[in-house]
Chains A and B, each alone.
With several copies, the nearest count.
Chain A
Amino acid sequence: MISQLRQAGTLIGLVLIVVFFTVQLPETFLTARNLINVSQQISMLAVVAFAMTVVMVMTDFDLSVGSMASLAGIVAAVLFTADQPVWLAVVAALAVGVLGGVVNGVLVAVLGILPFVATLGTLTIYSGAAFWISDGKTIFGRDIPKGFSEFARGGVSLDAVGFAGVSLPYMTILALVVLAVVWVTLEHTTYGRRLYAIGGNAEAARLAGVRVRWLRLSAFAITGLGAAVAGLMYASRVASANPTQGAGLMLDAIAAVFLGMTMGKEGEPRALATLVGVLILGILDNGLTQMKVDSYVREMLVGTIVIAAVATSSIGRRA
């Protein structure tokens, strides 16, 4: 009972936050338009966080997701400036993400370097590469094809289901698709269950014949792919690419996964729980801005809330 309550604690927190803002901002917060905005605002973070969940299931980390996102955006933009078609640029950017992930995977799974160190190193390398390829410049304006930047502005109209004038952004839909894929993979495939086995007890998994190396390597590749998707979404949203633009995603994504982990029975990460974490961060940002809370105070508040959530859950756990 107490343990159920503890597990639900973070979800209850999210509900409380929503109720609070609904009361404080009766006119504007709980409107279809605002919620759709929020969903679009958090879509990039959500994709990175879902991708991060995949490696964190193995109790690994990927600090390089932000750099990979930036690098993917830059690669696409550089190809745009070379007048390549959108599909080619997108494929190339995704390939770069996978490659970056594979490099991380080799370092961690084959060479046996701690994920924290390995991805700290590749964070620097990928970020250097993004600067180098772009010559340190922000690429924007005419260089970015309309077809690419309009993705972030378009959506599926919800007129038919009774929300006149509101449309569900493609960005939101993409994030939901990524969520669905990650959720099915982690919870309902052999592959995902083995990742949990590695996270729970890598030695036991190895002794039982699980191909730990190969699984870890591929999981890092998946995370790289996710980071690249998020990088492209970001580039599309700001219609430009800049070698530092993904940098802020990493710590937030990790924070979101950790918030979600408070809901796991054994403190394990889960895709849907990560979604709750992302929602908490995104809704706090949206609501506090609307309430005109000073940005510095907002920053402190978000930090405090993350800690409070995790503290509540860990106190329950030890009792």
Chain B
Amino acid sequence: ETVAVITPFLAQPGTQAYVQAFQEDAATRGWEVNVIDTAGDMAAVISRIEDAVTQKVDAIVVNVDPAQVQAGLQTAADAGIPVIGMDAGADPLIVTNITSNGYAMAAETSVYVANRIEGKGKVVMFVFDAFPPVQIRGVVADAIFANFPDIEVLDRITPDVQDGGIADSRAKMEAVLAANPEPGSIAAVWAAWDQPALGALQAIEAAGRTGEGIVIVGMDANPQARDAIAQGGNFEASMAQDFVGIGKAAAEATARAMAKEEIKSKVTYVPTVLVTKANAAP
């Protein structure tokens, strides 16, 4: 069988991890996998789904919000080719979506921050609302911080992600540190993904303010973040999605879809884990 995996986000480490897990699993099943990256272009995802349908692949795995690629999903449905979501979204035209629970993840890290700073102090948030899965993390964190009367959100920063996010986040954090020079004036940094957390950490280290106990949390627990957390510095926690699990589960779902088995649930959640110094060793 031939399976097309289509994603606009292959440059993201998380995407790479589950795509790789999917490929490895697929290899053991003897499938031919064609991984297609559209480098952020949504309309191109539709185009590539159409191309895959033309090629008469046996299944398509997508990694974008289904609402944005309806035209492509319809083409696949018309051709009778099953489409499986891998960290995508729920949709009638998707057999099932394998993902982590983004709401729960965001709740867990923001509550971690709130508890660590004992419900008071100034928090710097790094968000990215243009990308729906990351946007919901920000919404949840906003709600939780708003629920603590003594927590003040100092700034809600959208870094430039063209470079991956570390360098610009660092520059932005350096500016925030410069604007808030008194020790203890910043209690925590909450980042909706790991790169800004790493940038913030570098800024705090460079400013020589590691001793103030600024708590940094990220999300996705990518290896670079795990390293930082394991070292026991300001970067204290991140949420590990089970990318390998997602990739494997997506492969399993794909196998069942190709075998014309019925899959009842439109969403399959793969468990997530809070990573702290205790369990950070990769």
Q: Does chain A touch chain B in the assembled complex, meaning CB atoms less than 8 Å apart?
A: yes
Query: Does A117 sit at the interface, judged by CB under 8 A?
Result: no
Q: How far is the CB of A233 from chain B (nearest CB, A)?
A: 9
A239 at the interface (CB under 8 A from B): yes
- Known contacts: A44-B43, A237-B167, A289-B175. The answer to whether A247 contacts B50 by CB under 8 A is no
B259 within 8 A of A: no
The smallest C-beta distance from A79 to any residue of chain B, in angstroms, reads 18
Query: Is the CB–CB distance between A289 and B51 below 8 Å?
Result: yes
Interface of B is mostly: helix
Once bound together, how far apart are the Cα atoms of A195 and B175, in whole Å? 39
Known: A33-B54, A137-B130, A242-B11. A28 touches B42 (CB 8 A): no
Q: Please determine whether B224 and A244 come into contact, CB atoms closer than 8 angstroms.
A: no
Is A22 positioned at the interface, with any CB of B under 8 Å from its CB? no
Q: How far is the CA of A276 from the CA of B108 in the complex (A)?
A: 46
Q: Is B162 an interface residue (CB 8 A)?
A: yes
Q: Which residues of A contact B128 (CB under 8 A)?
A: 136
- B1 lies within 8 A of chain A by Cβ: no
Assuming the contacts A131-B130, A246-B163, asked whether A141 and B43 have C-beta atoms less than 8 A apart, the reply is: no
- Do B166 and A28 touch across chains, with their CB atoms under 8 A apart? no
Q: How far is the CA of A152 from the CA of B46 in the complex (A)?
A: 11
CB of B54 within 8 A of CB of A37, answer yes
Query: Cβ of A237 and Cβ of B129 under 8 Å apart?
Result: no
**A234 B172 Cβ-Cβ under 8 A:** no
Residue-by-residue, is A25-39 near B (CB-CB < 8 Å gives 1, otherwise 0)? 101110101100100
A2 smallest CB distance to B (angstroms)? 37
| Contact of A138 with B224 in the complex, beta carbons under 8 Å | yes
**In the docked arrangement, what's the CA distance between A142 and B231, Å?**
12
Q: From residue A251, how far is it (CB to closest CB) to chain B in Å?
A: 10
Contact across chains for B130 and A25 when beta carbons are under 8 A apart: no
Which residues of chain B are near A28, meaning CB under 8 Å? 54-56, 178-181
Within 8 A of A (CB), among B162-200: 162-164, 166-168, 170-172, 174-176, 178-181, 198-199
Residue total for B at the interface (Cβ-Cβ under 8 A):
67
Complex CA gap A248/B42 in Å reads 10
Contact of A25 among B38, B155, B172, B179 (CB under 8 A): B179
A157 within 8 A of B: no
With a cutoff of 8 Å between Cβ atoms, the chain A residues found around residue B176 in the complex are 289-290
The complex places the Cα of A99 from the Cα of B129 at a distance, in Å, of: 27
A185 interfacial by beta-carbon distance below 8 Å = no
Give the most central of B11, B16, B181: most A CB within 10 Å. B11
- A137: chain B residues within 8 A (beta carbon): 13, 16, 129-130, 132, 135
Interface flag for A187 (CB, 8 Å): no
Cβ of A295: which chain B residues have Cβ within 8 Å of it?
10, 35-39, 157-159
Kindly provide the distance from the CB of A262 to the nearest chain B CB, expressed in whole angstroms: 25
CB-CB nearest in chain A for B46: A237
Question: Could you tell me the distance between the alpha carbons of A29 and B199 in the complex, rounded to whole angstroms?
Answer: 21
Contact A138:B178 (CB < 8 A) given known A234-B43, A240-B166, A244-B164: no
Whether A33 contacts B43 in the complex (CB less than 8 A), given A141-B227, A245-B167, comes out as no
A residues near B181, Cβ cutoff 8 Å: 27-28, 31
B150 contacts the other chain (CB 8 A):
no
Q: Which residue of B lies closest to A130 (CB)?
A: B130
Q: Tell me, yes or no, whether B248 is within 8 Å of chain A by CB.
A: no
Contact of A136 among B55, B67, B158 (CB under 8 A): B158
Among B129, B163, B170, B223, point to the contact of A248 (Cβ < 8 A). Answer: B163
> Do A292 and B155 touch across chains, with their CB atoms under 8 A apart?
yes
Complex Cα gap A158–B154 (Å): 32
- Contact A247:B162 (CB < 8 A) given known A44-B43, A289-B175: yes
B36 touches A140 (CB 8 A): no
Closest beta carbon of chain A to B97's beta carbon, Å? 15
Q: Which residues of A contact B129 (CB under 8 A)?
A: 135-137
Flag whether B160 is at the interface (Cβ < 8 A): yes
Cα A149 to Cα B46 with chains together (Å): 14
CB distance from B274 to the nearest CB of A (A): 21
Residue of B nearest to A285 (CB): B171
Interface residues of A in 264-296 (CB under 8 A from B): 285-287, 289-292, 294-296
Given A37-B174, A239-B68, A290-B179, answer yes or no on A244-B130 (Cβ-Cβ < 8 Å). Answer: yes
Contacts of B51 in A (CB 8 A): 34, 37, 286, 289-290
Evaluate contact between B130 and A34: CB separation under 8 angstroms.
no
Residues 194-223 of B at the A interface (beta carbon under 8 Å): 198-199, 202, 205-207, 223
Residue of A with least CB distance to B67: A140
Known: A33-B178, A41-B174. A238 touches B42 (CB 8 A): yes
The A-contacting residues of B in range 37-65, CB under 8 angstroms, are 37-44, 46-48, 50-52, 54-56, 65
Q: How far is the CA of A289 from the CA of B2 in the complex (A)?
A: 13
**Given the interface contacts A25-B179, A244-B40, does A138 sit within 8 Å of B130 by beta carbon?**
yes
With the chains together, A239 CA to B195 CA distance in Å?
12
Flag if B163 contacts A245 (CB, 8 Å): yes
Interface set of B (CB-CB < 8 Å, partner A): 10-11, 13, 16, 34-44, 46-48, 50-52, 54-56, 65, 67-71, 74, 128-132, 135, 155, 157-160, 162-164, 166-168, 170-172, 174-176, 178-181, 198-199, 202, 205-207, 223-224, 227
The list of the 3 closest CB pairs from A to B, nearest first, reads A289-B175, A136-B129, A41-B47
